[in-house]
Amino acid sequence: MRRSKASTSTEEVTQMQASQDHCSFCFDVLISHLTKVDSPAPDFADGYQPLFVTWNKSSNWGQNTQLRGCIGTLEPRRLHTAVKDYALTSALRDSRFSPVQLKEVSQLSCSVSLLRCFEEAASWQDWEIGQHGLIIDFTDPVLSCKRTATFLPEVAGDQGWSKQQCIEALIRKAGYQGKPSQELLDSLHVTRYQSSKAALSFADYQAGSCSRLQEDVEQLLLQGSSSSSSRGRLGKLLFA
């Protein structure tokens, strides 16, 4: 996952719970962008919080799932604009992957993580797997440059890592490729945090709250113009 640059705003940070409404809006935004129609307005309460948006893609009838994009910010942002921004950024601009295409959307699931409870850890071991996300900061012992990286709370558990395995993977993610020494581990500045996470598959999105967007895509079909016909056919495939 990638993190954005810091914000200088002094607005009060909220402690909102993630919901499937956030994920549904991400689907609205992505499909609207790919079909070139206006996306519906968000129908969840606004807030001011750090967040990440993650897209996963299923294959082989759901037997295999692979990451398709994950980008967010560790600095608070207005949720109405930030969820929209990171829905697109994570789907289209994660440098690890090619941009998501419309034909893939029916295989996607989306999760939104709203971050909270940031606190300094007493040591690199002072956190709980499945409960805490991590931010590490350290000085590269070879190049003497500053390095930093983060993992969301679910990463260690999903990978089956111990605490040390997770920390060592996070050090590699930060760009240090040597074997972490005990001295390096002890020098880490670790910030732990928690998150509220919601997830939604395309099938559940389609069965639930997509009707406003479906009407817009179907309107493209009715217009019958050459410029929108290909978009309309793809939209019809999505909502079939």
Taking CA atoms, 194 is separated from 17, 171, 211, in Å, by: 11, 20, 33
pLDDT at 218 (0 to 100): 57
pLDDT (tens digit per residue) in 157-211? 999 999 999 999 999 999 999 999 999 999 999 999 999 999 999 999 998 854 5
Topology of domain 118-194, CATH:
Dna Ligase; domain 1 (3.30.1490)
What architecture does CATH give domain 2-116+196-239? 2-Layer Sandwich (3.30)
pLDDT (tens digit per residue) in 107-144? 999 999 999 999 999 999 999 999 999 999 999 999 99
Distance, in Å, from the CA atom of 35 to the CA atom of 148, rounded to the nearest integer, reads 37
CATH 3.30.1490.150 domain position(s) in the chain: 118-194
Per residue, what are the HEC states of 174-225? CCCCCCCCHHHHHHCEEEEEEEEEEEEEHHHHHHCCCHHHHHHHHHHHHHCC
CATH 3.30.700 domain position(s) in the chain: 2-116+196-239
pTM of the predicted protein model: 0.84
